[in-house]
A and B are shown apart, each in its own frame.
Chain A
Amino acid sequence: MIPIGAKVTWTNHDEETHLVVSTGGRFPSSQALDTNDTYSTVFAKPGAYAYFCAIHPQMVGTIVVQ
């Protein structure tokens, strides 16, 4: 859960490549992230933003902005 306007940074600590993809395309997707690569985006509007990894779609999460 984050405040409006906060920037979220994902860091890939895994050996595998991962992506951050917004379910429904509600925020920009990352490029493929290799080990220790990062991806950041700012959430300007309130809401619940679900996301997943396009290579490993069983990996999911949600950012709640309020």
Chain B
Amino acid sequence: MLKEAKTGRVFYVPGEHDVIGDDSKAFFARFGGGGWHSFDHRGVHFVALVNVLHLQAGGLGFLGAEQLAWLKQDLAGLSASTPVVVFAHMPMWSLYPSWGWGTQDSAEALTYLARFGSVTVLNGHIHQIQQKVEGTVTFYTARSTAYPQPAPGVGPAPGPLQDVPAGKLLGYLGIRDVRHLRGSHAIAVTDRALG
């Protein structure tokens, strides 16, 4: 599926299964990069975060002090009107903490993003679509190409849904496209000098 993508560059962030046993060394050796990073494309600032390393007992996803310091510095020079897109594997809001669906220090990261007029946060991990708007920050989780998971709190625990009929499975799986559509209308309020 990735090979069919019509794009010159692919940017990866690891999920928790990508870093088992070696703290992500094999993942980054294969897919490049050394962890969290950012880049600019057509005026949009993209930030890739890693929130699946050094998870603590009883905790959620985790960014850590070093990554938070980098993020603060990375955003510091940007105008508040710069659109920002953040992507990370685990949800960056407390979606369902008792199933581990959240990031324990994401609130700190969001304080750095609060001054921007448009922030889009893209996450995976829970294999289903959930979304939430908080001020100028919009959070989205996407479907998976692997297996479906239960809705938050439905059933005893997260994990693969095993009672999906084979013929219905593809209805639970999916990919996401994000398109940038520039508005075609002038804004409603315009001012003109008389001479």
Contact = CB atoms under 8 A, between A and B. Distances in A.
Interface of A: 14-17, 19, 21, 23, 31-32, 50-52, 54-58, 60
B111 interface: no
Nearest to B55: A57
Given A17-B20, A31-B21, A57 B56 contact: yes
Contact of B55 (A16, A50, A54): A54
Contacts of A14: 159
B159 A52 contact: no
B60 interface: yes
Nearest to B97: A58
Interface in B140-160: 158-160
Interface string B11-27: 00000110011000000
A58 B95 CA distance: 14
Contacts of A17: 17, 20
A57 B17 contact: no
B2 interface: no
Contact of A57 (B20, B21, B100): B100
Interface string B59-92: 1100000000000000000000000000000000
18 contacts: A15-B159, A15-B160, A15-B162, A16-B159, A17-B17, A21-B57, A23-B57, A50-B57, A51-B57, A52-B57, A52-B58, A54-B20, A54-B55, A56-B100, A56-B158, A58-B98, A60-B57, A60-B58
B59 A16 contact: no
B17 A58 contact: no
Contacts of B16: 55-56
A58 B60 contact: yes
A30 to B, nearest CB: 10
Given A16-B159, A58-B59, 4 more contacts: A55-B20, A57-B55, A58-B97, A58-B98
B98 to A, nearest CB: 7
> Which of B55, B97, B99, B160 gathers most chain A CB within 10 Å?
B55
Given A15-B159, A15-B160, A16-B159, A55 B17 contact: yes
Contacts of A31: 21
Given A17-B17, A17-B20, A19-B20, A57 B162 contact: no
B159 A32 contact: no
Interface string B161-177: 01000000000000000
